[in-house]
Amino acid sequence: MLKLLKQYKKLLIILLFPYIYMLFVLVAPTQLAVIAPGGLSQVNEAVIIDGYDMVDNFNTIYVYSYSPITPFQSWVLATDKTMEIYEMTERQKDLSMQDEYAQGQISKMVSLKTSVIQAYLLAHDTKPEVTIDYHYEGLYVYYRPSYVEGLEIGDLIVTINGHNYSDYAHEDFVMLAYDSEVEFTIKRVSGDEITYHSVTYIYQEEDPYMIFYPAYMIDSASPSFELPGLDTIIGGPSGGLIQTLSIYVSLVNINLGDSKIAGTGTIEMNGEVGRIGGISQKMYTAIYNNVDIMFIPASHLSEIPDIDYPFIVKSVTTVEEAVQWLNEEFN
C-alpha cells in the first residue's frame, strides 16, 4: 500500500487539502435551516366520517424543513428563490430529531381534533343532527428547554402550582404556565394505566419560552368519526383550516365539482386562522401541483411572493369567512 502511496505522493499531497476542505463543506453543520417546497396531501385520507363520503377536493400543503444544513447546501440554495434559508432559532438548536417529530405529531393531533370540533359546530347551524361534545383537559407540552428533566414533548399538564385545568378556560390556564417558578403535574396514559408525575421548572433568563397546545377531548360526536391521519409521519398544525373546510363541506354536502382546493393556516378554537411557517414555499408548492383555489391566513397576504398565481388566492381571518366564501361560490 505504501508503494502505491509513494507512487502518487505529489498528486496525493496536492489533492489532500482541497479534499479535506470539500469534506468539511459537505459535512459540517451550520447554524442555518432551510424550508423547501413540498407537496399536497389529501384531507379525505386523514378523516373518516361514519355514513358520509369525504370530498376529495381539499388538500393540505406540506413543506420540508431541514436543520442544520451544510455550508455546501447553503451555497447551492442561496440562489434558489423557492427556498428560505434562515438562522436556526434557539428552540431549533435545542431540539433533537425525535423532539421535532414529536412536535409535528402533537400539533397535528391538536389541529385535527380542533378541525373536527369547529367543522361539526359550523355544520350544526345548517344540519342540527350534527352534534359534538367536548371538554378542555389541560395543556400539551409543545416545547420545553431540553435540560428540564421529566418533562417531555407531548406530555399533558393537568395542574400548575396546584391549580387544576378544570377550574380555568384555556387562555387563563396557559398563563399560569408562564410563571417564573412552576410545578406541573403531568398525566401520562400507558394502556389502561394512568400515572401522574410532578415536575418543577424555574425559568432561566436564557431559556426560550415554553410553548403549549390546548388539549381538548371529544366526548361524543354524531356522526362518529375516525382520524387515520394521526398515523402518518407528516406532522404540523398548518392543515387546520383546510381540514375544517373539508369536514364541513363533507357534512353539509356542498358540490365543489372537480375544483382542486389547497390551503394553509392553523385553526384555533375560536375559529381564527393562525399564521404558519414557510408561506412562500407553500405558494410554490401550490403552483407545482396545479391547484385551483388556495386559502391562506390574511396576515400572510403581504408576505407571499409578488408573482402572477395561476389560481385564486383567498385570504381569510376566520374559518367562518372561508365557509361563507365557499357557500357563495359553489352553492
Partner 1 sequence: MKSLTNSIDKVFRFFRRFANLVKLIDKKTTVKLVVKSVFGALLFSILIVLLPALILINMFIYTKLTFLISILLVLLIMGWSFLYYYFYYRLLKIYHPTLENINTKIPQLTESTIVAFFFMILGIVVLSVVF
Which residues sit at the interface with partner 1, rule CB under 8 A? 1, 3-4, 19, 22-23, 26-27, 34, 36-39, 64, 66, 69-70, 72-73, 76-77, 83, 288
Asked if 277 and 238 count as a contact pair (C-beta separation under 8 A), the reply is: yes
Cell of 293: 383555489
Q: Is 300 helix (H, G, I), strand (E, B) or coil?
A: helix
Closer CB to partner 1, 34 or 151, in the complex: 34
Closer CB to partner 1, 23 or 175, in the complex: 23
* Straight-line distance from the first to the last Cα atom of the chain, in angstroms, rounded to the nearest whole number: 79
Q: Is 50 helix (H, G, I), strand (E, B) or coil?
A: coil
- The answer to whether the peptide bond before residue 228 is cis (omega within 30 degrees of 0) is no
CB 246, min distance to partner 1, A: 24
CB 3, min distance to partner 1, A: 5
Closer CB to partner 1, 52 or 64, in the complex: 64
30 phi and psi angles, rounded to 5 deg:
-100, -175
Closer CB to partner 1, 64 or 101, in the complex: 64
Residue ranges of E strands in 260-305: 261-263, 266-267, 273-274, 293-297
CB 192, min distance to partner 1, A: 36
CB 303, min distance to partner 1, A: 22
247 phi and psi angles, rounded to 5 deg:
-65, -45
Closer CB to partner 1, 26 or 175, in the complex: 26
CB 103, min distance to partner 1, A: 21
In single-letter form, the type of residue at position 158 comes to: V
Closer CB to partner 1, 14 or 175, in the complex: 14
Calculate ∠ Cα 258-259-264, nearest 5°: 140
CB 30, min distance to partner 1, A: 12
Closer CB to partner 1, 20 or 169, in the complex: 20
Query: Which element (helix H / strand E) includes 104?
Result: helix 97-126
Neighbouring C-beta atoms of residue 226, cutoff 10 Å: 11
Closer CB to partner 1, 70 or 131, in the complex: 70
CB 73, min distance to partner 1, A: 5
Q: If you ran DSSP here, which 8-state letter would residue 272 be given?
A: B
CB 265, min distance to partner 1, A: 22
Dist CA 160 CA 168 (whole Å)? 11
Dist CA 104 CA 15 (whole Å)? 44
Calculate ∠ Cα 143-149-150, nearest 5°: 85
